[in-house]
Structure 1
Amino acid sequence: MKTLITSILLAVIGIAAAPAAQAGEIWRASGFEQPESALFDAAGKRIIVSNIVGNPGEADGNGYLSVLSLDGKVVTRHWTDGMDAPKGMAISGGRLYVADITKVRVVDLASGRLVSTIDVPNAVFLNDMTADASGKVYVSDMLADAIYRIDGETPELFVKNAVLASPNGVFADGNRLIVASWGKGIKSDFSTAEPGGLLAVDLATKAVSQLPGAQKFADLDGVVAIGDSIYATAYVTGTLYRYTAGGKPEVVASFRPGSADIGTDGKSTIYVPLMNEGEVAALTLD
């Protein structure tokens, strides 16, 4: 497993293509250490960035969180230390939840202090997180075809289904979770036997469905929704896609490989962590 996870960092060397016209870069912040997620904190008017610092699957104590201002300036480089390989994040009830391999860290949002750790039974590789309107938090387990739900500090298996095909990105959107799938049959270089796509999980029934026109098109990582559009990254190619119901995914921006769990202000800006470059880019959308 360690070899599989490590190879994600070694197999994503490539050359960037020019960004598409539909998205423009506002700023780019640098100096991070494998930034995996960039979460918009509306109340705090800031962006929180998770830094893996090493093997994404190793409990080495090197991981930490940083804080960026909305204009791309580093406010606090080491805001929260003491993590292993932090990835996706979600905000609920004045607390920040952080996926950290097989655990979820809970951080006081006001102070940045690590207040507790939630052990997630049977977790393999926790990845992205999101919170629904009721405050419940969801975290994907990419290597177990599963999504867990956390109510307060109590975790439970929400859904486990092979159709999820290595679920990575998750985003609560009304009465559903939007899921970005990496794909089936992950190989040693993190390519797949079958590419992933976009899915939805009904929060009430837990039914999993594929979004029409967005099946099996790329090995997807992060995902967010803005209005009637869904945006998702493909880590290995560095591509940012946009999808609307009834259409097909279109490329709106391209980076070097390493675009991971994106965040958004919910209006017109997307924050893209560029894991292999140690940067976070802010994009404005048409």
Structure 2
Amino acid sequence: MKHTYLLVTAVLVTFSFIALIPAKAPKPMKLVKAWETDTTLRTPESVLYDGKNTLYVANIDGQADALDGSGFISKVSLDGKIENLHWTSGLNAPKGMGIYKKRLYVTDVYRLIAINTETGQAEKTWDAIGKGSFLNDVTVAKDGTVYVSDSRIDKIYRLKDDKWEVFMEGEQLNKPNGLLAVGTDKLMIGSGKIGALRSVDVTTKAITTLADGMAATDGIVPEGKGNYFVSDWNGQIFHVNANGTKEQLLDTRSAKVNSADIEYVAKKKLLVVPTFYKNSLVAYKVE
């Protein structure tokens, strides 16, 4: 009995000692440059992974709201080689993109265009409703529902079952830019006016702020487990945790290198950043 008592006491003391040892802090996330394309791109605003081996790049090639037909979409490999600079052309300042089955959806200042991914040809267009539109980002939910942000006049459009409509509008959107559909019931919004990452319940349209203080929020991509990478167009990249805490991973503002609408290739842990005026993509390994 005495030995049992001593053993129990020793175990309790050991556990008490372990409890006093502070928990090891998680290793800080960092970005390590993996590659950079050449500079034949022209004002690349967004990049989108096709889920296979290709990155689509939307090139504005001119003023951001010009109806000049000089914009185009490029194809880039996952190791940074420009495979087809002018895969499709004749667009007006293309920006955000989303893909579903054999359609690539891209914004074209005042309209949304559906491009056939096999032919590169436009199949259908949907015009914004009202004057002064500046359609920006695109995201596609798992069921094929397409959402489009209008950064200039505070609107979010929805294309569902071939019905094009204003899904949300009003100053509470605070100049929506980046969009990300999470499942079919949640929409993440980057509100550029207040530098915030916000969540919208698709059913109730209730808005919840997850994190703020990120300046001109642009691209939003999932890192996994409710975490996100968010870009600030001015040249910052943030990692936002599911609990709302954020960490700055990149700051290229002093070098005057922008970070526009980003993409994350999870299987390679590769974060791809369009540099806008620097005419290139830069990819970083997430470590």
- Tell me the TM-score normalized by structure 2: 0.83
Does 2:85 match 1:77?
Answer: yes
What's the Cα RMSD here?
Answer: 1.7
Structure 1 counterpart of 2:284: 283
Alpha-carbon shift at residue 216 of structure 1 (Å): 4.0
Q: Whose helix proportion is higher, 1 or 2?
A: 2
Q: Would you say the 8 A contact 2:145–2:158 is kept in 1?
A: yes
The residue type equivalent to 2:260 in the other structure is A
Distance 1:102 1:28 in 2: 31
Separation of aligned partners in 2, 1:91 and 1:247: 28
Residue 21 of structure 1 deviates from its aligned partner by 6.5
CA contact (8 A) 1:103 1:117 kept: yes
Deviation digits for residues 151-174 of structure 1 (CA, Å, limit 9, x no counterpart): 254321111132221110001112
The answer for the alignment partner of 1:40 in structure 2 is: 49
Distance of aligned partners of 1:93 and 1:65 in 2 relative to their CA distance in 1, 3 Å threshold: same
Number of the residue aligned with 1:3: none
Q: 1:97 aligns with which of 89, 93, 105?
A: 105
Number of aligned residue pairs? 252
Matching residue of 1:243? 240
Aligned to 1:231: 229
Q: Secondary structure at the match of 1:42?
A: coil
Instruction: Structure 2 unaligned segments of length 5 or more: list them.
Output: 1-27
Q: State the SS of the aligned residue for 1:163.
A: helix
Equivalent in 179, 182, 189 of residue 179 of structure 1: 189
Contact 1:145/1:162 (8 A) holds in 2: yes
Please give the residue correspondences for 1:8-47 in structure 2 after superposition, counting only pairs within 5 Å: 22-30=30-38, 31-43=40-52, 45-47=53-55
Please give the secondary structure, in 2, of the residue aligned with 1:264: strand
Report if the CA contact (8 A) 2:44-2:60 is conserved: yes
The list of structure 1 runs, each at least 4 consecutive aligned residues, that deviate by more than 4 angstroms after superposition, is none
Aligned equivalent of 1:259: 259
Q: Give the TM-score normalised by structure 1.
A: 0.84
Q: What secondary structure does 2:148 align onto?
A: strand
Structure exhibiting the larger radius of gyration computed from Cα positions: 2
Aligned-pair identity (%): 35
Q: Secondary structure at the match of 2:277?
A: coil
Shift of 1:78: 0.3
Output the CA distance in 2 between the equivalents of 1:102 and 1:226. 31
The question of 1:156 aligning with 2:154 is answered: no
Q: Which residue of 1 aligns with 2:22?
A: none
Q: Is the 8 A contact 2:45 2:276 kept in 1?
A: yes
CA distance in 2 between counterparts of 1:266 and 1:157 reads 32
Q: Secondary structure at the match of 1:205?
A: coil
Matched-pair contact (CA < 8 Å) for 1:92–1:136: no
